[in-house]
Protein backbone atom coordinates (compact mmCIF):
# COMPACT_ATOMS: atom_id res chain seq x y z
CA UNK A 1 0.00 0.00 0.00
CA UNK A 2 1.33 3.43 -0.94
CA UNK A 3 0.96 5.64 2.13
CA UNK A 4 0.04 9.32 2.02
CA UNK A 5 1.58 9.87 5.46
CA UNK A 6 4.90 11.70 5.17
CA UNK A 7 7.34 11.52 8.06
CA UNK A 8 10.19 13.62 6.69
CA UNK A 9 11.14 17.08 7.87
CA UNK A 10 9.00 20.13 7.14
CA UNK A 11 10.21 23.63 6.29
CA UNK A 12 9.13 26.69 8.26
CA UNK A 13 10.87 29.60 6.60
CA UNK A 14 14.59 29.02 7.09
CA UNK A 15 14.05 26.22 9.60
CA UNK A 16 13.73 22.46 9.25
CA UNK A 17 11.26 21.02 11.75
CA UNK A 18 9.90 17.60 12.59
CA UNK A 19 6.47 16.48 11.33
CA UNK A 20 5.22 16.50 14.93
CA UNK A 21 5.89 19.49 17.15
CA UNK A 22 5.32 20.19 20.82
CA UNK A 23 2.87 22.78 22.10
CA UNK A 24 2.90 24.28 25.57
CA UNK A 25 -0.72 25.24 26.22
CA UNK A 26 -0.89 22.65 29.04
CA UNK A 27 2.66 23.35 30.27
CA UNK A 28 1.36 24.93 33.46
CA UNK A 29 3.22 23.09 36.22
CA UNK A 30 5.74 25.07 38.24
CA UNK A 31 8.35 22.39 38.88
CA UNK A 32 11.52 23.16 36.98
CA UNK A 33 12.82 19.59 36.86
CA UNK A 34 9.51 18.28 35.52
CA UNK A 35 9.31 21.08 32.97
CA UNK A 36 12.85 20.43 31.76
CA UNK A 37 12.17 16.69 31.46
CA UNK A 38 9.12 17.39 29.29
CA UNK A 39 11.03 19.69 26.93
CA UNK A 40 13.91 17.21 26.69
CA UNK A 41 11.47 14.36 25.93
CA UNK A 42 9.91 16.36 23.11
CA UNK A 43 13.29 17.28 21.62
CA UNK A 44 14.56 13.71 21.96
CA UNK A 45 11.47 12.56 20.04
CA UNK A 46 12.36 14.87 17.16
CA UNK A 47 9.80 17.55 18.03
CA UNK A 48 12.20 20.43 17.61
CA UNK A 49 9.52 23.11 17.05
CA UNK A 50 8.46 24.20 20.54
CA UNK A 51 5.29 26.27 20.29
CA UNK A 52 4.09 28.55 23.06
CA UNK A 53 2.29 31.89 23.51
CA UNK A 54 2.28 34.79 25.94
CA UNK A 55 -1.33 34.02 26.87
CA UNK A 56 -0.61 30.40 27.81
CA UNK A 57 -0.97 30.04 31.55
CA UNK A 58 -4.00 32.32 31.63
CA UNK A 59 -6.17 29.19 31.60
CA UNK A 60 -5.75 25.40 31.74
CA UNK A 61 -4.74 25.49 35.39
CA UNK A 62 -2.14 28.20 34.92
CA UNK A 63 -1.52 31.02 37.33
CA UNK A 64 -1.62 33.91 34.90
CA UNK A 65 -0.71 35.56 31.63
CA UNK A 66 2.90 34.89 30.60
CA UNK A 67 3.57 32.11 33.08
CA UNK A 68 4.17 29.36 30.50
CA UNK A 69 6.71 31.49 28.64
CA UNK A 70 8.35 32.29 31.96
CA UNK A 71 8.58 28.59 32.86
CA UNK A 72 10.16 27.81 29.50
CA UNK A 73 12.54 30.71 30.10
CA UNK A 74 13.55 29.15 33.42
CA UNK A 75 14.19 25.84 31.64
CA UNK A 76 16.38 27.55 29.05
CA UNK A 77 18.27 29.44 31.75
CA UNK A 78 18.94 26.20 33.63
CA UNK A 79 19.82 24.19 30.50
CA UNK A 80 20.91 26.69 27.81
CA UNK A 81 22.04 23.94 25.42
CA UNK A 82 18.36 23.10 24.84
CA UNK A 83 17.90 26.41 23.03
CA UNK A 84 20.21 25.29 20.24
CA UNK A 85 18.14 22.15 19.72
CA UNK A 86 14.81 23.92 19.20
CA UNK A 87 12.98 26.21 16.85
CA UNK A 88 11.47 28.56 19.41
CA UNK A 89 7.99 29.73 18.46
CA UNK A 90 5.66 31.99 20.38
CA UNK A 91 2.62 34.13 19.72
CA UNK A 92 1.20 37.47 20.76
CA UNK A 93 -1.78 39.71 20.15
CA UNK A 94 -4.24 38.47 22.78
CA UNK A 95 -4.55 40.71 25.82
CA UNK A 96 -7.41 39.63 28.10
CA UNK A 97 -9.98 41.03 28.37
CA UNK A 98 -9.55 43.40 25.40
CA UNK A 99 -9.33 40.72 23.79
CA UNK A 100 -7.17 41.25 20.65
CA UNK A 101 -4.63 43.95 19.86
CA UNK A 102 -2.26 43.83 16.91
CA UNK A 103 -1.66 47.57 16.87
CA UNK A 104 1.95 48.61 16.44
CA UNK A 105 2.52 49.70 20.02
CA UNK A 106 1.02 46.65 21.67
CA UNK A 107 2.34 43.98 19.27
CA UNK A 108 5.88 45.33 19.67
CA UNK A 109 5.58 45.43 23.45
CA UNK A 110 4.16 41.88 23.46
CA UNK A 111 7.06 40.55 21.43
CA UNK A 112 9.64 42.29 23.59
CA UNK A 113 7.98 41.01 26.76
CA UNK A 114 8.04 37.48 25.35
CA UNK A 115 11.76 37.78 24.66
CA UNK A 116 12.32 38.79 28.26
CA UNK A 117 10.20 35.99 29.75
CA UNK A 118 11.82 33.40 27.49
CA UNK A 119 15.35 34.54 28.32
CA UNK A 120 15.95 34.62 24.58
CA UNK A 121 17.84 36.95 22.31
CA UNK A 122 15.62 36.14 19.33
CA UNK A 123 12.34 34.33 18.64
CA UNK A 124 12.64 31.95 15.69
CA UNK A 125 8.96 32.07 14.72
CA UNK A 126 6.67 34.84 15.95
CA UNK A 127 2.98 34.44 15.14
CA UNK A 128 0.03 36.75 15.57
CA UNK A 129 -2.13 34.59 17.83
CA UNK A 130 -5.56 35.74 16.68
CA UNK A 131 -6.48 38.37 14.10
CA UNK A 132 -7.29 41.85 15.38
CA UNK A 133 -10.07 42.87 13.04
CA UNK A 134 -9.68 46.53 14.02
CA UNK A 135 -6.02 46.92 13.06
CA UNK A 136 -5.19 47.42 9.39
CA UNK A 137 -3.01 44.58 8.07
CA UNK A 138 -0.51 47.13 6.74
CA UNK A 139 0.14 48.20 10.34
CA UNK A 140 0.60 44.60 11.45
CA UNK A 141 2.96 43.94 8.55
CA UNK A 142 4.97 47.07 9.38
CA UNK A 143 5.42 46.01 13.01
CA UNK A 144 6.45 42.47 12.12
CA UNK A 145 8.88 43.73 9.48
CA UNK A 146 10.47 46.15 11.94
CA UNK A 147 10.88 43.44 14.59
CA UNK A 148 12.53 41.22 12.00
CA UNK A 149 14.83 43.98 10.79
CA UNK A 150 15.87 44.59 14.41
CA UNK A 151 16.82 40.92 14.82
CA UNK A 152 14.18 40.23 17.47
CA UNK A 153 12.34 37.65 15.38
CA UNK A 154 13.43 35.49 12.46
CA UNK A 155 10.23 34.26 10.81
CA UNK A 156 6.60 35.40 10.93
CA UNK A 157 3.39 33.43 11.01
CA UNK A 158 -0.30 33.75 11.76
CA UNK A 159 -2.63 31.71 13.93
CA UNK A 160 -6.41 31.25 13.65
CA UNK A 161 -6.56 33.49 10.58
CA UNK A 162 -9.19 32.94 7.91
CA UNK A 163 -7.84 32.57 4.38
CA UNK A 164 -8.95 36.12 3.54
CA UNK A 165 -7.27 37.53 6.67
CA UNK A 166 -4.10 35.70 5.69
CA UNK A 167 -4.33 37.14 2.16
CA UNK A 168 -4.83 40.67 3.47
CA UNK A 169 -1.72 40.50 5.65
CA UNK A 170 0.39 38.73 3.02
CA UNK A 171 -0.39 41.52 0.54
CA UNK A 172 1.40 44.02 2.80
CA UNK A 173 4.36 41.88 3.83
CA UNK A 174 7.78 42.54 2.32
CA UNK A 175 8.78 38.90 2.90
CA UNK A 176 6.82 35.63 2.92
CA UNK A 177 4.67 34.45 5.81
CA UNK A 178 6.27 31.21 7.03
CA UNK A 179 3.39 29.51 8.85
CA UNK A 180 -0.28 29.48 9.59
CA UNK A 181 -1.66 27.75 12.68
CA UNK A 182 -5.23 26.49 12.27
CA UNK A 183 -7.20 24.02 14.31
CA UNK A 184 -7.16 20.87 12.18
CA UNK A 185 -8.06 17.31 13.05
CA UNK A 186 -10.19 14.45 11.85
CA UNK A 187 -12.95 16.04 13.95
CA UNK A 188 -12.34 19.59 12.67
CA UNK A 189 -11.89 19.61 8.90
CA UNK A 190 -12.44 23.31 8.17
CA UNK A 191 -8.88 23.97 6.85
CA UNK A 192 -9.41 21.14 4.38
CA UNK A 193 -12.51 22.87 2.99
CA UNK A 194 -12.05 26.63 3.49
CA UNK A 195 -8.89 27.18 1.45
CA UNK A 196 -6.38 27.33 4.32
CA UNK A 197 -4.41 24.27 3.24
CA UNK A 198 -4.78 25.17 -0.43
CA UNK A 199 -3.07 28.51 0.20
CA UNK A 200 -0.32 26.71 2.12
CA UNK A 201 0.40 24.62 -0.97
CA UNK A 202 0.20 27.63 -3.26
CA UNK A 203 2.55 29.79 -1.22
CA UNK A 204 4.86 27.24 0.40
CA UNK A 205 3.51 28.08 3.86
CA UNK A 206 3.54 25.37 6.53
CA UNK A 207 0.37 24.66 8.48
CA UNK A 208 0.96 24.02 12.17
CA UNK A 209 -2.15 22.05 13.10
CA UNK A 210 -3.24 22.65 16.67
CA UNK A 211 -5.40 20.15 18.52
CA UNK A 212 -4.85 17.20 16.12
CA UNK A 213 -6.53 15.00 18.76
CA UNK A 214 -9.45 17.44 19.00
CA UNK A 215 -8.36 18.57 22.47
CA UNK A 216 -8.88 15.06 23.81
CA UNK A 217 -12.46 14.84 22.50
CA UNK A 218 -11.28 12.07 20.20
CA UNK A 219 -11.39 9.78 23.22
CA UNK A 220 -14.57 11.14 24.82
CA UNK A 221 -17.96 9.49 24.84
CA UNK A 222 -21.33 10.97 24.00
CA UNK A 223 -21.97 14.31 22.37
CA UNK A 224 -18.45 15.64 22.95
CA UNK A 225 -16.76 12.66 21.36
CA UNK A 226 -16.53 11.44 17.77
CA UNK A 227 -19.66 9.97 16.28
CA UNK A 228 -20.09 6.21 16.00
CA UNK A 229 -19.17 6.15 12.31
CA UNK A 230 -15.90 7.97 12.91
CA UNK A 231 -15.07 5.79 15.92
CA UNK A 232 -15.60 2.71 13.79
CA UNK A 233 -13.24 3.87 11.04
CA UNK A 234 -10.59 5.14 13.48
CA UNK A 235 -10.60 1.93 15.48
CA UNK A 236 -10.62 -0.29 12.39
CA UNK A 237 -7.55 1.52 11.06
CA UNK A 238 -5.87 1.46 14.48
CA UNK A 239 -6.34 -2.30 14.70
CA UNK A 240 -5.03 -2.81 11.17
CA UNK A 241 -1.96 -0.66 11.84
CA UNK A 242 -1.36 -2.00 15.38
CA UNK A 243 -1.47 1.49 16.89
CA UNK A 244 -3.92 3.47 18.99
CA UNK A 245 -6.58 5.93 17.88
CA UNK A 246 -4.28 8.88 18.55
CA UNK A 247 -1.68 7.64 16.07
CA UNK A 248 -4.31 7.35 13.34
CA UNK A 249 -5.54 10.89 14.05
CA UNK A 250 -2.02 12.35 13.92
CA UNK A 251 -1.25 10.37 10.77
CA UNK A 252 -4.39 11.81 9.16
CA UNK A 253 -3.01 15.34 9.68
CA UNK A 254 0.37 14.30 8.26
CA UNK A 255 -1.25 12.73 5.19
CA UNK A 256 -2.30 16.01 3.58
CA UNK A 257 -0.05 17.09 0.67
CA UNK A 258 0.46 20.51 2.26
CA UNK A 259 2.88 18.68 4.60
CA UNK A 260 1.30 20.02 7.74
CA UNK A 261 2.88 19.70 11.18
CA UNK A 262 0.84 18.18 14.01
CA UNK A 263 1.21 19.95 17.38
CA UNK A 264 0.75 17.66 20.37
CA UNK A 265 0.57 18.81 23.98
CA UNK A 266 0.52 15.81 26.31
CA UNK A 267 2.42 16.25 29.56
CA UNK A 268 3.08 12.50 29.83
CA UNK A 269 6.64 11.58 28.86
CA UNK A 270 5.68 8.15 27.57
CA UNK A 271 2.90 9.57 25.42
CA UNK A 272 5.25 12.13 23.93
CA UNK A 273 7.52 9.34 22.71
CA UNK A 274 4.58 7.16 21.69
CA UNK A 275 3.24 9.89 19.41
CA UNK A 276 5.92 8.95 16.89
CA UNK A 277 3.98 5.76 16.17
CA UNK A 278 1.96 7.95 13.80
CA UNK A 279 5.01 8.25 11.55
CA UNK A 280 4.86 4.56 10.64
CA UNK A 281 1.12 4.47 9.93
CA UNK A 282 0.07 3.70 6.37
CA UNK A 283 -2.98 5.56 5.12
CA UNK A 284 -4.06 5.51 1.49
CA UNK A 285 -6.72 7.57 -0.26
CA UNK A 286 -9.45 5.10 0.60
CA UNK A 287 -8.50 5.45 4.28
CA UNK A 288 -8.36 9.24 4.44
CA UNK A 289 -11.57 9.71 2.48
CA UNK A 290 -13.28 7.16 4.71
CA UNK A 291 -12.22 9.28 7.70
CA UNK A 292 -13.46 12.48 6.06
CA UNK A 293 -16.80 10.93 5.16
CA UNK A 294 -17.27 9.46 8.64
CA UNK A 295 -16.34 12.77 10.26
CA UNK A 296 -18.69 14.87 8.17
CA UNK A 297 -21.48 12.32 8.36
CA UNK A 298 -22.51 12.67 4.74
CA UNK A 299 -21.47 10.74 1.63
CA UNK A 300 -18.91 12.38 -0.59
CA UNK A 301 -20.39 13.48 -3.92
Close Cβ partners of 122 (under 8 Å, ≥ 6 residues apart): 115, 151, 152, 153, 154
Q: How, if at all, do strands 123-128 and 20-23 pair? A: unpaired
pLDDT at 23: 98
Tell me the domain boundaries of the chain.
10-181
Is the pLDDT at 1 greater than 70? The verdict is no
Q: How confident is the model at residue 56 (pLDDT cuts 50, 70, 90)?
A: very high
Q: 127 has which bridge partners? A: 91, 157
Topology classification of domain 10-181 = TIM Barrel (3.20.20)
Cα separation values, 298 from 152, 184, 277, 295, Å = 48, 19, 30, 8
pTM of the model: 0.97
pLDDT at 60: 75
CA distance 176 to 221: 42
Is the pLDDT at 61 greater than 80? The verdict is no
pLDDT at 299: 92
User: Among this protein's residues, is 56 annotated catalytic?
Assistant: yes
Q: How confident is the model at residue 136 (pLDDT cuts 50, 70, 90)?
A: very high
pLDDT at 239: 98
pLDDT digits (tens, 9 = 90+) for 156-211: 999 999 999 999 999 999 999 999 999 999 999 999 999 999 999 999 999 999 99
pLDDT digits (tens, 9 = 90+) for 85-116: 999 999 999 998 889 999 999 999 999 999 99
pLDDT at 59: 82
If you average pLDDT over residues 7-34, what whole number do you get?
97
Task: Give percent above pLDDT 70 in the chain.
Answer: 100
Catalytic residue among 22, 56, 100, 161: 56
Q: How confident is the model at residue 274 (pLDDT cuts 50, 70, 90)?
A: very high
| Neighbour tally for 300: CB within 10 Å | 8
If you average pLDDT over residues 288-300, what whole number do you get?
96
Is the pLDDT at 223 greater than 90? The verdict is no
Amino acid sequence: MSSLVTSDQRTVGQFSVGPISYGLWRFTNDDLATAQAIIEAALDAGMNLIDTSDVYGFDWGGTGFGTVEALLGRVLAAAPALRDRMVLATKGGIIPPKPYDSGAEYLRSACEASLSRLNADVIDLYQVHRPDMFTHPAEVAGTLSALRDEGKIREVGVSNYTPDQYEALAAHMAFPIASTQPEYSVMHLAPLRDGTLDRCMRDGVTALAWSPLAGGRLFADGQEGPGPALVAVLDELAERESVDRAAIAIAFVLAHPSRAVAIIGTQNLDRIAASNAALSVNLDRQDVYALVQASEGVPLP
